[in-house]
A and B are shown apart, each in its own frame.
Chain A
Amino acid sequence: MFLCMIPTIRIGNSMPEIFQYEFMNRAIVASVLVGVTAPAIGMFLVLRRLSLIADTLSHVAFAGVAVALITKSFTPIVAFIATATAAVSIEELRVRRLLPGDAALAVFLYGALALAVVLISAFDGFNSTIFSYLFGSVLSVSSTDLWWMGMLALVITLFLFMFRFELTQITFDSDLAKTNGVRVHMLNLSLAILTAGTITVSMRVVGVLLVGALIVIPVLVSIRVVKGLSLTLLVSSVIGVFVAVFGMVISFYADLAPGGSVVLIAISLLIIVEIGALIKKRIFGSSQLMHSSDHTHAHEFHAHGANGSATDDPHSHR
């Protein structure tokens, strides 16, 4: 259904089928960009329990898309301005304690969704373009999109790399970061704006309704499998690239919606690592208990041995 109207533009016959379509090449490159940036920025949101900000901003992005389609403006720019404005407003409301954090998110989420629905119904109605933004579409990524997505992804990656020490301190404890001389408010605002940028980049591939999942789930997988802040950040992005590209490939061959495919793969991966961790905990935990019990037993014998009563016992301390 999603690929039935795809123009068959073949650029070579020796390559795998998926790479013979220009739009798929663009979609794969876009997936890599999204896969790197979304979980990287997501780590600083997930660890601060701000995962839902991604969902809220994606709905704001949807309102931006509606405005752009009606005004016939360049959609990503309008969506970015809308999400960045909302991100900064939410941060300011939170810091100034004008609204509780979750209430501010709810107001923006429902406000933006209501605005989008009203605008769409008043002007153009729900058409295929709107659906491509809602659920993602491999056809929606143009060469122009790819260029500015690349630029934005570069800015985001550079920012996260340059300020990784400061951002991780804020993530751990913002008061401690501030008494360490970190400019917490400025960096929080920058992170909010770049989260808006990440959502704008990602919505082309996975759609506004599912973009939050790509920001959050690879981070959850990464936190489960590795230890250390830098490694968690790196592995989150590697997992993000894997699920985004793999999901895109599957959606091509199975003719499925790319956004849903990417997110389902990410969730499958999360389930696998959680089950793996559970099994490991049971096996390792029980063996550790046995070892601990054995060790205590040996100690007791050793103590007796020290008193000269059981020095030749085969269970002596190992």
Chain B
Amino acid sequence: MNHNSKSKPIEVDVESFPRPEKIPIRFDETWFAYDSMPVVRDINFSIMPGEFAAILGPNGSGKTTLMKLALGLLKPSSGRVLLFGESSENFKDWHRIGYVPQRIQTAEHRFPASVREIVQFGAYSGFRFFSLLKHKENSRVDDAMELAGILELADRRVSDISAGQQQRMLIARALVRRPDLLVMDEPVAGVDAAGEDQFHSMVRKLNRDLGITIVMVSHDIGAVMREATTCACINQDIVFHGPVHQLDANALSTLYGFPVDVLMHDPDHTHR
């Protein structure tokens, strides 16, 4: 870990610190290795309720691995990850979590499901014999598709829609369950500029109006600076973690391994 570039620890008021079960994600000395090659090293930070946390890092830096560790899809080699105060491997309250992966595993198949069927999966809350949804949950599916802007695609086949539309479908699927925490892994990869703008507007609304904690892996530094409240820069270990306004050129240069300048747009559109 580059201690020179690491930000100063954030001062925390112990009295106002949330109880462990209220903290959406906590990495506690988390390590992970593929075939004894460390991919994630000694990660220690928490994502607090209501945060819009961005995870930044170059390709192969362990961002997706970190998200999979957070969701219990991978088991830490050492240390632990807590989801709402419970070990991610034993976590049961999955209705509190919405997950939008980088891409769906069957993206290139001629998959026969309709968009509505996939969004309906978001309402799954355990074994049911006859019907996936209760009657009242049908309106939630429509609401989520409308919020994600894909209501008109409801009857289209999943494999017949674009990558950007598939991402929106996955977001709608995540929103059906009305999660407390929404984890997204590069959600705007393959989405055009207009779609990206709409997406950020939607996520902002989810975070600020509905109070959903957002964790978003991204390569877009500009979007992170504009939208997120906190940022964790990962390159196997933590290079920076703190409020996004403290993210500076020094941390980004260390993260990417080459000089990076940060140009901030102020309201008068002048660079500083």
Contact = CB atoms under 8 A, between A and B. Distances in A.
Contact of B111 (A47, A169, A224, A226): A47
A223 B118 CA distance: 16
Given A182-B124, A229-B117, A223 B105 contact: no
Nearest to B126: A181
In which size bucket is the chain A interface? 20 to 34
B99 A229 contact: no
B121 A232 contact: no
Nearest to A46: B109
Nearest to A229: B113
Contact of A181 (B92, B157, B170): B92
B113 to A, nearest CB: 5
A171 B124 CA distance: 15
B121 A172 contact: yes
A180 B124 contact: yes
In which size bucket is the chain B interface? 35 or more
B135 interface: no
Contact of A171 (B101, B106, B128): B106
A124 interface: no
Interface stretch (B24-32, B66-74, B138-146): B66-74
B48 interface: no
Interface in A225-240: 226-229, 231-232
Task: Describe A's contact surface by its main secondary structure.
Answer: helix
B99 A168 contact: no
Given A173-B106, A175-B68, A181 B113 contact: no
Contact of A178 (B73, B109, B118, B170): B73
Nearest to B109: A47
B267 to A, nearest CB: 38
A168 B105 contact: no
Nearest to A170: B105
B153 to A, nearest CB: 13
Nearest to A162: B129
A37 B41 CA distance: 48
Given A172-B118, A175-B99, A223 B106 contact: no
Contacts of B106: 47-48, 171-173
B124 A169 contact: yes
A166 interface: yes
B124 A165 contact: yes
A227 B158 CA distance: 10
Given A47-B109, A49-B109, A232-B112, A176 B124 contact: no
B114 A178 contact: no
A223 B113 contact: no
A176 B111 contact: no
Contacts of A231: 112
Nearest to B111: A47
Most buried by A among B73, B112, B128: B112
B94 A180 contact: yes
A75 interface: no
Given A47-B106, A172-B106, A175-B68, A181 B124 contact: yes
Given A47-B109, A176-B170, 14 more contacts: A165-B128, A165-B132, A166-B127, A168-B113, A172-B105, A172-B118, A175-B101, A175-B105, A179-B94, A180-B124, A181-B124, A181-B125, A222-B112, A227-B157
Q: Sorted from nearest, which 8 A-B pairs have the closest CB atoms? A: A181-B94, A232-B112, A179-B99, A173-B105, A229-B113, A173-B104, A165-B132, A180-B124
Interface of A: 47-49, 162-163, 165-166, 168-169, 171-176, 178-182, 222-224, 226-229, 231-232
Interface of B: 68, 71-73, 92, 94-95, 97, 99, 101, 104-106, 109-114, 117-118, 121-122, 124-129, 132, 155, 157-158, 170, 173
